[in-house]
Amino acid sequence: MRLLFLGDIVGRPGRNAVTERLPGLRDRWRLDCVVINGENSAGGFGINEAICDEILAAGADAITLGNHSWDQRETLVFIERQPRLLRPVNYPQGTPGRGANLIDTRSGHRVLVVNVMGRLYMDPLDDPFAAVDRELETCPMGQVADAVIIDVHAEATSEKEAMGHYFDGRASLVVGTHTHVPTADHRVLSGGTAYMSDAGMCGDYDSVLGMQKEESIRRFIQKTPGARMEPALGEGTLSGIAVETDDRTGLARRVAAVRLGPNLEETWPRFWD
Ligand SMILES: [Fe+2]
Ligand SMILES: [Fe+2]
């Protein structure tokens, strides 16, 4: 299978980059499954139903979230009727929505998508390792799922690497999100799981993490309340990871970073062109 994972969509530039480029990439690379983190897609803060529908219509099979899951209150309601929208699986019991789902892709495959949040320098949630373990036990790769994608929404690289190795051999891809900056460590681990510490963001990189740089810089210099944080509005870049898996086992065969758009040096899976 051919999988594409894209990092946090930040505001309109991120959404535009996805809606303008993804339909063409799906065809050109004959993608079987696309998962995108959408936690900052609504003005930098959360997601709403219209934007969720827009991202799915552009070619995403599933959308993951993170610490910004509930910034738009309507998400608490519509997530219950949107099985392709996932929030972290290790939120407390009784939290609306779901943290994992076996997704039927347009290509006819079944992909288990899991969203989990780290605990280092983040909200103290349930044990992320145990929470994902439970999902993998009920839906093992190569038996129930054709592929497994785990989005580890976390601050600390150590926690993300630990999770990559812990799930190595049981997932097609363990990929980090949340820092909005892509790392250069994409690879296939020894057990056959593709890994990248952070997918980066889909947004305007002429910014501080996708938000307008002037207000962000000001907040570091002057410790006074100021203007609202707004997304930077220049052209957005797509950022993430492409993975080719073995159809029988679900394990990764090769990986490539994806960066398409201005500001960052462009790169893509040349083995698919
Ligand atoms: Fe984010
Ligand atoms: Fe985040």
Number of domains in the chain: 1
How far does residue 105's CA lie from ligand 1's centre (Å)?
25
User: What is the spatial distance between Cα 51 and Cα 202, in angstroms, rounded to a whole number?
Assistant: 14
Secondary-structure breakdown of the chain: helix, strand, coil percentages, each rounded to the nearest 5? 25, 30, 45
How far does residue 174's CA lie from ligand 1's centre (Å)?
17
Residue 50's domain comprises 2-272
Q: Is 39 annotated as a binding-site member?
A: yes
pLDDT for 227: 86
Hey, which residues are catalytic here?
A: 68
Q: Is 40 annotated as a binding-site member?
A: yes
pLDDT for 225: 83
User: What is the spatial distance between Cα 232 and Cα 97, in angstroms, rounded to a whole number?
Assistant: 30
The answer, as to whether pTM is greater than 0.85, is yes
Structural tokens at position 140: 């093992």
Q: Is 165 annotated as a binding-site member?
A: no
Per-residue pLDDT tens, the chain, 273 aa: give them: 999 999 999 999 999 999 999 999 999 999 999 999 999 999 999 999 999 999 999 999 999 999 999 999 999 999 999 999 999 999 999 999 999 999 999 899 999 999 999 999 999 999 999 999 999 999 999 999 999 999 999 999 999 999 999 999 999 999 999 999 999 999 999 999 999 999 999 999 999 999 999 999 999 999 888 889 999 999 999 999 999 999 999 999 999 999 999 999 999 999 999
User: What is the spatial distance between Cα 135 and Cα 114, in angstroms, rounded to a whole number?
Assistant: 8
Dihedral over alpha carbons 130, 246, 107, 3 (to 10 degrees) = 60
Opening angle at CA 189, ends 21 and 4, nearest 5 = 15
CATH number at residue 70: 3.60.21.10
- Taking the CA of 39 as reference, the closest ligand is 1
- Taking the CA of 37 as reference, the closest ligand is 1
